[in-house]
Amino acid sequence: MAPKCAVSSSRSVSQPRFIQHKKEAFWFYRFLSIVYDHVINPGHWTEDMRDDALEPANLCQHGLKVVDVGGGTGFTTLGIVKHVDSQNITLLDQSPHQLEKARQKEALKGVTLIEGDAEDLPFPTDTFDRYVSAGSIEYWPDPQRGIKEAYRVLKPGGVACLIGPVHPTFWLSRFFADMWMLFPKEEEYIEWFQRAGFDNVELKRIGPSWYRGVRRHGLIMGCSVTGVKRASGDSPLQLGPKAEDVEKPVNPFTFIFRFIIGTVCASYYVLVPIYMWIKDQVVPKGLPL
């Protein structure tokens, strides 16, 4: 499906979203990396969902040159190596702790692992055939800049595939989502891709089987958005300075406050899939949840 894009409804990066900052996200994953594959993936990012989300990326040839941006522990990369030779894949993440988990996976031997910033990719223009990013955009202070970078590093005709959250409509889930990190609306994804210069922008909804299509609570992995780079060179979109300067000193009390509140809000989204799974077991099939 490809919802028609309306006027931008992007929310200001100054809104709470306590973990939508690179420094807080770095430390958040310092601890989450320990249990990520065992706690987060079973409830929010299953192998079936991953394969379904990657299908529009058209990973059809072993020789494709692919970058997985914000690849973390390499869970999404494991889906990519099913189709592409590992030596042609680069996994980039800002967290050395997440990358260390990826480095320990036998199936990812041969994949190039790099520390880097999704909003300032350390690659030349027109480098990759495919750009993949799953579960990363929610931490980007400036998502439009990250998608602009996706356009830049792709070769002409290359495909970007970005997989991320969807904004909740249920009031309590929306409150915790907006306090935790960025949960974009579907039309925001479409607009960001189009503004960056992508053609053939499409959005595909994904989700765990037990959600039965319910999206009012939002989903940490809720859609897969793809676009095709139309021409060689950088994106035609011009942007100002970065929204966040990671070199700028941070008040330690402010940092600790943001980190603690953000982590509390994140815990709500550990409980949501448990609640939905139980409800799926109790409510008769065919009836709405």
Domain count, the chain: 1
**Higher pLDDT residue, 44 or 56?**
56
> Is 27 part of a structural domain of the chain?
yes
Length of the chain, please? 289
> Is 188 part of a structural domain of the chain?
yes
Q: What angle do CA 236, 237, 241 make, to 5 degrees?
A: 135
Q: What angle do CA 283, 286, 289 make, to 5 degrees?
A: 45
User: What mean pLDDT is predicted for residues 30-51?
Assistant: 69
Name the band, by pLDDT with cuts 50, 70 and 90, for residue 194.
very high
User: What mean pLDDT is predicted for residues 60-86?
Assistant: 96
Name the band, by pLDDT with cuts 50, 70 and 90, for residue 3.
very low
Burial of 12 (0-12, 13-18, 19+ CB in 10 A): exposed
User: What mean pLDDT is predicted for residues 257-268?
Assistant: 82
> Is 272 part of a structural domain of the chain?
no
> Is 212 part of a structural domain of the chain?
yes
> Is 103 part of a structural domain of the chain?
yes
- Going through the chain in order, the beta strands assigned E by DSSP cover 66-69, 89-93, 112-115, 128-134, 154-166, 199-205, 219-228
Share of the chain above pLDDT 90, in %: 60
Name the band, by pLDDT with cuts 50, 70 and 90, for residue 4.
very low
CATH number at residue 223: 3.40.50.150
Collapsing DSSP states into helix, strand and coil, what is residue 113? Answer: strand
**Residue 275: count of CB within 10 angstroms of its CB:** 11
> Is 244 part of a structural domain of the chain?
no
10 has pLDDT over 50: no
CA 217 – CA 230 distance, rounded (Å): 35
The pLDDT, as a whole number, for residue 181 is 85
Cα dihedral across residues 115, 120, 124, 125: positive or negative: positive
> Is 12 part of a structural domain of the chain?
no
> Is 194 part of a structural domain of the chain?
yes
43 has pLDDT over 60: yes
The pLDDT, as a whole number, for residue 114 is 97
74 has pLDDT over 60: yes
Q: H helices of 111-227, where?
A: 143-153, 171-180, 186-196
pLDDT tens digits for 122-141?
999 999 999 999 999 988 88
Domain extent for 185: 22-231
Name the band, by pLDDT with cuts 50, 70 and 90, for residue 9.
very low
- The pair of structure tokens assigned to 150 is 């996706």
- 267 to each of 84, 176, 177, 185, 289, how far by Cα in Å? 35, 9, 11, 21, 22
- Starting at the edge strand found earlier in the chain, the sheet holding 128-134 runs 112-115, 89-93, 66-69, 128-134, 154-166, 219-228, 199-205
Q: H helices of 4-106, where?
A: 22-32, 41-44, 47-54, 75-80, 96-103
CB 93 within 8 A of CB 70: yes
Beta strand pairing status for 219-228 and 199-205?
antiparallel
Q: What is the pTM of this model?
A: 0.87
- The pair of structure tokens assigned to 218 is 């939002």
CA 139 – CA 17 distance, rounded (Å): 9
Share of the chain above pLDDT 70, in %: 83
Encoded amino acid at 71, one letter: G
